[in-house]
Amino acid sequence: MPSGLAPAELIAILTAVTDDQPRVMTLRGGEALPSGPFESSHRSLQSGLRDWIEAQTGHPVGYLEQLYTFADKDRDPRSEEVTSSQRISISYLGLVREQDAPGARRPTWRSWYRYFPWEDHRGDHSPKELPLITGRLAAWAKGDALKIQRVDYLFGLNGKPWNEELVLQRYELMYEAGLVDTPEFGAPMAGDNRRILATGISRLRAKIKYSPVVFELLPESFTLLQLQRTVEALSGLHLHKPNFRRQIDQQELVEETGEMSSGTSGRPARLFRYRPAILEARMLSGVRLPLSRP
Amino acid sequence: MPSGLAPAELIAILTAVTDDQPRVMTLRGGEALPSGPFESSHRSLQSGLRDWIEAQTGHPVGYLEQLYTFADKDRDPRSEEVTSSQRISISYLGLVREQDAPGARRPTWRSWYRYFPWEDHRGDHSPKELPLITGRLAAWAKGDALKIQRVDYLFGLNGKPWNEELVLQRYELMYEAGLVDTPEFGAPMAGDNRRILATGISRLRAKIKYSPVVFELLPESFTLLQLQRTVEALSGLHLHKPNFRRQIDQQELVEETGEMSSGTSGRPARLFRYRPAILEARMLSGVRLPLSRP
DNA sequence: CTAAAATGTACTCGATTCGAGTATAAATGG
DNA sequence: CCATTTATACTCGAATCGAGTACATTTTAG
C-alpha cells in the first residue's frame, strides 16, 4: 500500500457582522476565500491558521473552529478529471470583530447574502428570488415524489416550516437542479468556495443556538437590540423582541455594565457585557431563536 | 513560503452495540484504533475509508461521518519533540450493525466503558470509580475557584446535573489533572487514540438527540425496548420508559412491521422498522433523551 | 399450578417552556 | 407638539417534558 503524499491547504471562512449584515472576508473581487498552504513550522493547524489570519488581516480572531476536510476530488463535483496528486483542504470558521482594526489592510468584506440571496428572511417579505427558485425547483422535481418532498422540506413549502440551518442542503439541491450558475441566484465564487461558505453558514447558524459564540462578533459592551440584530443577521430570521430578551436574561449570559447607550435615536438602552466566567456552565443552553412572523 | 508535504492518515472509530454495550473496534489487544494511509486512488476520503473498512472487517458501514483533522503535534500533548514532517490524521466515526457479518474476520470489539468507566451511568448507582476520581480532582482543583467550578460542571457535582455529552471535556480535565494514566481509571490506548475515541463518543451522544442515526446500529426490525436499550447504551443514561415511547411515536420515525418478537422472556413485543422515507423531514427532531432517576 | 419476574402499554398530573400579543415608558426629530 | 423609534414589563394559552401510576401479558422458578 503506497501512502499518498498530499500537500495540505487551509481555507478560512472569516465572518464579521457590520451594519446588520453578516459578512465574509474575500479575495479577488469577492470570488475567493482566503487560503494558504499548511506550514510545517506551525505548532498546530489551529494556531498556524490563527497566526496567518492575524498577519494577513490585522484582525484578531476571537473564535476559530475546524469545519471540514476535503480531498480534491471531493471538492468540485463538476471536474471529472483524475488528478494524480490529491490536495487535502482543511476549512475553518473564524469569527472576528471587524471594528477592532479599522486602519489595517482593507480586505473585502462581502455580505453572505450576496452569494445566497434566498437565505435572508428578515424583511417583511421573503426574498424576491425565492418564488423564481422554487418555481424552477418544482419544475425540476416534477413527477418524482421524493424530490418534491425534499424541495418542500428544504424551502419550507406546503405548510412545512423554513429551517434556517439547512443552507448547505439547499445549495446542494440547487446544484443538482442546475441553478447555482444563474447569476440572479447569487454571486459566483471560484471552484467550490461557495459550497464551503455554505457549510460555514450552516454550522454557525446551528451553533448560535446552543453556544454563546455570538459574543465574539460584538463589541465589549452592547445593547440587547444590538445583540438581537446580530443574531438576526446570522440566522436570517426576524425574532420576537420580548421573547428574545426573556431568553437572554433567563440564561444569565450577560450583565449590565451600568452605562447607557448614546448617540442613537429613540430611548437610550442599558449596555451589557458578556459574562465569560460561566462560559462552560452555559455552554449547552446558549442563544436560542424565538421566531416571530410566520 | 514552502508548503509542507504531509502524508495523510485515516483513523476510524467504528461503533456497534451488542449485549447492551456500546463497542468500538480495536486492534493490538484493544490498544489501538484501526487506521491506514489515505490512498490517492480513492475517489474521496469518505468512500476511500468506506471501502477500506468493508474490506478489513466484512461489516458494511451504515453511517460514516468525519470527526476531526489533526496535525501530529496537535495529537499528543505529551510529546515535546519537534517532528520534521507533520502527519495529518483525519478521524471518522462509523456505525455498523455488528451482527451483520458474524462469520467474517473477527476484530476485537471492546466496550467503550472499558476505556471510560466513569461514563456509564445506567446502573442504580453511579460508576464505582467516580468518587475516587472526583476526590482526586477536588484535591487538584483546591484553591482555584475556576477549576472547582469546572470540575463541578463537568462531573455534575454540587447540584449541577450530569451532562452525558461532555466525554471529551471530562477526559481532558482528567488529563490536565494527571489522572488518565491510572489503570483503575480506564484501560490505556496507544498515543492519543483514547482522546480520539472520546471525541467520537461525545459526537455520537450529541447526535442521537437530533438525528435518527441510532437506527444504523439496530437490525431491520426491532422492539421499542431494544431501541431504548441501544440509546441507553450510547448515552450511558437510564431512560424513562413511558416517556421514551411517547417521544418515539410523536416523531413518527418508526412503523409497525405487524410481527411480534419471540424467544425472549416476558410478554412479546411488537416489532417496528425505521421509516427512512421521511428521514430528511425528521432530521432535526430526532431522538431526544427523556431521563429518569436524578 | 402458582407466584414472581420480566416485559409491554395506556394513562394522568403538574411544572416549565415557548410563541404570540399587549401595554407603557423614554428619547429624538420634524 | 406629535409622530416615530427604541426600551421594558407584563399576560395568556398551547405544547412539551419529567415523573408517576396502573394494568396487561408472557415466561420461568419453585
Percentage of chain A surpassing pLDDT 70? 82
pLDDT, position B286: 42
pLDDT, position A253: 84
pLDDT, position B102: 53
pLDDT, position B87: 79
Percentage of chain B surpassing pLDDT 70? 82
pLDDT, position A159: 83
pLDDT, position B4: 44
Rg for chain B (alpha carbons), in Å?
20
Interface test with A, best of B56, B65, B86 (most A CBs within 10 A): B86
Number of Cβ within 10 Å of residue B161's Cβ equals 9
Chain B residues in contact with A55 (beta carbon < 8 A): none
pLDDT tier, A227 (very low <50, low <70, confident <90, very high otherwise) = very high
pLDDT, position A108: 87
Mean pLDDT to the nearest integer, A172-191? 95
Q: Which neighbouring-strand residues pair with A207? A: none
Mean pLDDT by 10 residues, chain B (294 residues): 58 93 92 83 76 79 92 55 65 85 67 97 88 97 91 89 92 96 95 96 90 91 93 92 89 86 81 75 50 50
Number of Cβ within 10 Å of residue A63's Cβ equals 18
Question: Is B169:A283 a contact under the CB 8 Å cutoff?
Answer: no
Nucleic strand C near CB of residue B42 (< 7 Å):
no
pLDDT, position B180: 96
How far apart CA A18 and CA A233 sit, in angstroms, is 9
pLDDT, position A188: 96
pLDDT, position A54: 80
Q: Do A4 and B7 touch (CB under 8 A)?
A: yes
Residues (236-275, chain B) with CB within 7 Å of strand C atoms: 241-242, 245-246, 261, 264-270
Nearest to B69 among A90, A153, A281 (CB): A90
pLDDT tier, A196 (very low <50, low <70, confident <90, very high otherwise) = very high
Cβ-Cβ contacts under 8 Å between A and B: the total is 115
pLDDT tier, A85 (very low <50, low <70, confident <90, very high otherwise) = low
What single DSSP character describes residue A104? S
pLDDT, position A99: 64
- A125-146: per-residue pLDDT in tens? 889 999 999 999 999 999 998 8
Pairing of strands A5-18, A88-96: parallel
pLDDT, position A41: 61
Nearest to A5 among B5, B70, B146 (CB): B5
pLDDT tier, A20 (very low <50, low <70, confident <90, very high otherwise) = very high
3 state DSSP class of B35: strand
Angle among Cα B89, B92, B95 to the nearest 5 degrees reads 160
Q: Give the residue with greater pLDDT, A210 vs A64.
A: A64
What single DSSP character describes residue A175? H
